[in-house]
A and B are shown apart, each in its own frame.
Chain A
Amino acid sequence: MRGAVLLALCALGCAPKAVRVGSKNFTEGVILGEVAARACAAGGAVTEHRRQLGGTAVLWRALRSGEIDAYPEYTGTLASELLRGVDARDLRGMRRALAREGVAMTAPLGFNNTYAIGVPEALASARGLRTLSDLQREPGLALGLSHEFLDRADGWAGLRARYGLPQRDVRGMDHDLAYRALSSGAIQATDLYTTDAEIAWHRLRVLSDDREYFPEYSAVLLYRADLPRRSPSCARALESLGGSLDAATMIDLNDQVKRRRRTESSVAAAWLEAHRGLRSAVASEGRAERVWQRTREHLAMVLSSLLAAVLCAVPLGVAAAKRPRLGTLVLGAAGVLQTVPSLALLVLLIPLLGIGAAPAVAALFLYSLLPIVQNTVAGLRGISPALRESAEALGLPPFARLRLVELPLALPSILAGVKTAAVINVGTATLGAMVGAGGYGQPILRGIRLDSTSTIMEGALPAAALALLTQALFACIERVAVPRSLRGGR
């Protein structure tokens, strides 16, 4: 009997947990995440891809807290941001430092995504330009560099010093404008990332960094040290990806997503099938289905956070209205919470709540407190002393006075507070996509990443519609819940 119970418990608790692969919020990261997740899945592991989570901090925290099991990273980022004092080219030292954090690293995937200088292919072959050293022979070359590259200490200034570059015509310009200027011939060289899709698109040649000036940003996959034990097949699949993707391949994959508008999933699946012989299905869903899914995620976030906020903030508001000193404290605390930038709050909540809907709901809950507490306090304090005294003179005990007289009189103000919180929540919930909560922020993030207005609209329009709908809904609630004598102010 006891054995059977244990077995049943084990069936629930010991079921193999899905391997979760994460990816950062930019196209190459999502493609690599998709490649890793599909390679794992092809090996038989139950796999899930939490795509386009925020930036490095979010992924790194999520990996170490076990919210995700693996994600693509760059050695340069590891060296400069995550593991201080380790050289980006010293893989062994890096592995040792990672092991101390409970993290393992695959062999480099095969490309180095760092800064580089690109020149049009036709010009490069005419003048015989292959390396950055070759630029010493071309003092008349016009350079259009991004503002960031011009400003960084390890950007243009250092590059010119290292190679002794003689060019005088160096202009700062927007990155997208630089590509246009290149095709019109206004400039002959620009800075870029070595795997930018634009390299293929604008037919540029990347000059090789023969004096090793630029930092090494080799792509690797990081995974939790306990993954080989939990899913040996998945760990093997990740390791086998080492050395399999060169820069030309990565540029092509980026280009397929960015310019030819294919999904990361189908690009990753096609590459795995063609080059690794791994077959995986690409689920395709219609736009309506997608929007409905996002709507459900968005509504779930907004409603649960709002409900929890009302249940907490109204009693807090009552307490704050009754006890001025407590009120100052409560309103002050809620006000401070309001000033924490939403993205920072989300990242702070990850170690406590993991990734997904939980930190997003918690953040929305915290942001909802101030408007509701504030309006509850204002509503209660706004009741005229004559009415307050009348209720007292009737001989009603304090709680009955609150329930029968004070809260109903404060209701219009409280409802206005809840409405404010709801409308703010609908907007702020779009940031939930940064921590894997889904919702309307998902297409917005994707659209910004791919520079696709129609994809942005897929999230922005429903979000705006939902905000308007929320306003209308509260107008209805007010009409039903607030007696006509209290409407339009007292």
Chain B
Amino acid sequence: MTAHGPTAASLVGVMKRYGGAVALGPIDLDVPVGRTTVLLGPSGCGKSTLLRLINGLIAPDEGTLRVLGEGVTPASVEALRRRVGYVIQEGGLFPHLSARQNVALLPRWLRWETPRIDARVAELAALARLPEALLDRHPGELSGGQRQRVALMRALALDPEMLLLDEPLGALDPMVRAELQRDLREVFRTLGKTVVLVTHDLREARHFGDLVVLLRDGRVVQRGPLSALESAPSEGFVRDFLDAWREAP
């Protein structure tokens, strides 16, 4: 199951256990550079665990994991995380900081000059379609959609090589969701970055995904373009999963 061309992350025989129970793996997977990979599957299938492994938030119990050409070790993980943007479902914005301060947190810590930070924040606001007037509000004063736009800006602040998103639209109502979905895809296209997006929603996968990886009980069931999954399901579960979404309202 190797992809052709360069990979942003590669997993070989990776396993993760929680208290004896296998949460993920063994799994082999390559994440291709410059494309959007969607990790799809029902809840509890291990897709979020996979994402957190790639970001070094958890370490594999077995197997090898390379991200952006490096092994993930305690020594390398912090520098590596700064090359990888990360957005979670509720945004994870710090409530004690304004939107601008949230976005500028890492640049400021890296001692960027203020004009450079200001320019970068303005650039990101335009990219994420966030009105600049909202930048000085605290997360509690922003809507759910606005918060996700700020979270995206924060993840992109250092212009990372890869962007990880864990159910970024999960907590939004349908109207906001549709709009943000469009804007996100636009951003991915503009930037041409490697993106790994976790979702349980087939329609979202269809919307974003060049490449879909369907997971079940911690294992990869099938990977490829969604059309391939639909035309040639590798096993019954793939068909069942797709059918369930077809019947959904």
Contact = CB atoms under 8 A, between A and B. Distances in A.
Interface of A: 386-387, 389-397, 400, 404-405, 408-409, 411, 483-486, 490
In the A-B complex, list the 5 residue pairs whose CB atoms are closest, starting with the nearest: A390-B92, A395-B81, A395-B82, A485-B138, A393-B86
Contacts of A387: 92, 94-95
Contacts of B86: 390, 393-394
Interface in B82-103: 82, 84, 86, 88, 90, 92-97
Contacts of B81: 392-395
A421 to B, nearest CB: 23
Interface of B: 55, 57, 78-82, 84, 86, 88, 90, 92-97, 105-106, 109, 138-141, 154
B156 to A, nearest CB: 12
A337 to B, nearest CB: 32
A405 B97 CA distance: 9
B139 A396 contact: no
A484 B138 contact: yes
15 contacts: A387-B94, A387-B95, A389-B92, A390-B92, A391-B94, A393-B86, A394-B106, A394-B154, A395-B84, A400-B109, A409-B94, A483-B97, A485-B140, A485-B141, A486-B96
Interface centre among B78, B80, B96, B97 (most CB of A within 10 A): B96
Contacts of A409: 94-96
Contacts of B55: 393
A480 to B, nearest CB: 14
The A interface, classified by DSSP as helix, strand, loop or mixed, is: helix
Given A387-B92, A409-B95, A396 B140 contact: no
B93 to A, nearest CB: 8
B88 A386 contact: yes
Given A390-B86, A405-B94, 8 more contacts: A390-B94, A393-B81, A393-B86, A393-B92, A394-B105, A400-B109, A408-B94, A483-B95
Nearest to A396: B109
Contacts of B109: 396, 400, 404
B95 A485 contact: yes
Contacts of A408: 94, 96-97
B196 to A, nearest CB: 13
Contact of A490 (B88, B95, B106): B95
Contacts of A393: 55, 57, 81, 86, 88, 92
B95 to A, nearest CB: 5
Contacts of A404: 105, 109
A392 B138 CA distance: 21
A370 to B, nearest CB: 26
B96 A389 contact: no
Contacts of B78: 395-397
Interface centre among A387, A390, A411, A484 (most CB of B within 10 A): A390
A445 B176 CA distance: 69
Contacts of B80: 395
B219 to A, nearest CB: 25
Given A389-B88, A404-B109, A485 B57 contact: no
A405 B92 CA distance: 12
A389 B94 CA distance: 11
